[in-house]
């Protein structure tokens, strides 16, 4: 996901999602924002403890032939190992998760109002995530509020009917 200032990414390495991985894959991430492509490498993703999130950096390298961006961006990713219940043939009872918020300014990019953003890692399969940058503004808030109001309109009368039937 992206907004005007950042790229956001969430990864769940659950062995149930395919390829049997449960630990964070540290390298092979390719982020494209508009016409710029970057390699991302997770710094020190090892020895995570269950339910103890840890902030780490990402090494970012631009594929422009001269390395205009070639640096570590500190503390932009959060890693965590969490317990899961899976078939014993699939995993060992835990998975690792990563989420990051990477400022576009660190990539030398100003705003993503309508730029295409993709993320892929061929070490994890052939999936590619696609989004278009831009602010959702109040849209998400308005939709969430509408959904809550709609739920209340549907559920409250049913609860009243249930109470009446219990007291009869």
- φ, ψ at 152 (rounded to 5°): -65, -40
> Could you tell me which residue, 155 or 42, shows the higher pLDDT?
42
Tell me the pLDDT band of 136, cut-offs 50, 70 and 90: very low
Question: Which region among 38-47, 56-65, 94-103, 135-144 has the lowest average model confidence (pLDDT)?
Answer: 135-144
How far from chain centre, in Å, is Cα 38? 17
What pLDDT shows up at residue 93? 76
- In sequence order, which residues have a C-beta less than 8 Å from that of residue 138 and are 6 or more positions away? none
Q: Give the DSSP letter string of 42-67.
A: ES---SPPBT--EEEEEEEEE-SSS-
Q: Is the dihedral of CA 105, 109, 114, 116 positive or negative?
A: negative
In tens, the pLDDT along 24-33 reads 889 989 999 8
What pLDDT shows up at residue 153? 47
> Could you tell me which residue, 126 or 142, shows the higher pLDDT?
126
CB 40 within 8 A of CB 7: no
Tell me the pLDDT band of 134, cut-offs 50, 70 and 90: low
User: Within a 10 A sphere around the Cβ of 110, how many other Cβ atoms?
Assistant: 10
Mean pLDDT across the stretch 127-134?
Answer: 73
Nearest to 76 by CA among 108, 95, 52, 100: 100
3-state secondary structure of 37: strand
Most confident of 16-30, 78-92, 96-110, 136-150: 96-110
Residue 137 has pLDDT above 70, yes or no: no
Tell me, what DSSP letter sits at residue 121?
E
Alpha helices in the chain (DSSP H): 139-167
H helices then E strands: how many in the chain?
1, 8
């Amino acid at each position: 996901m992206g907004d005007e200032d950042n790229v956001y990414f969430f990864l769940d390495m659950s062995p149930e999602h395919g390829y049997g991985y449960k630990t964070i894959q540290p390298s092979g991430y390719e982020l494209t924002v508009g016409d710029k492509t970057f390699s991302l490498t997770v710094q020190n993703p090892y020895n995570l403890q269950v339910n103890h999130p840890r902030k780490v950096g990402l090494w970012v390298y631009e594929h422009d032939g001269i390395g205009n961006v070639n640096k570590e961006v500190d503390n932009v990713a959060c890693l965590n190992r969490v317990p899961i219940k899976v078939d014993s043939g699939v995993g060992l009872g835990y998975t690792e998760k990563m989420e990051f918020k990477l400022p576009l300014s660190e990539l030398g990019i100003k705003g993503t109002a309508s730029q295409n953003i993709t993320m892929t890692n061929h070490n994890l399969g052939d999936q590619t995530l696609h989004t278009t940058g831009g602010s959702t503004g109040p849209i998400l808030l308005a939709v969430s509020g509408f959904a809550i109001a709609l739920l209340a309109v549907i559920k409250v009368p049913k609860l009243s009917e249930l109470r009446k039937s219990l007291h009869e």
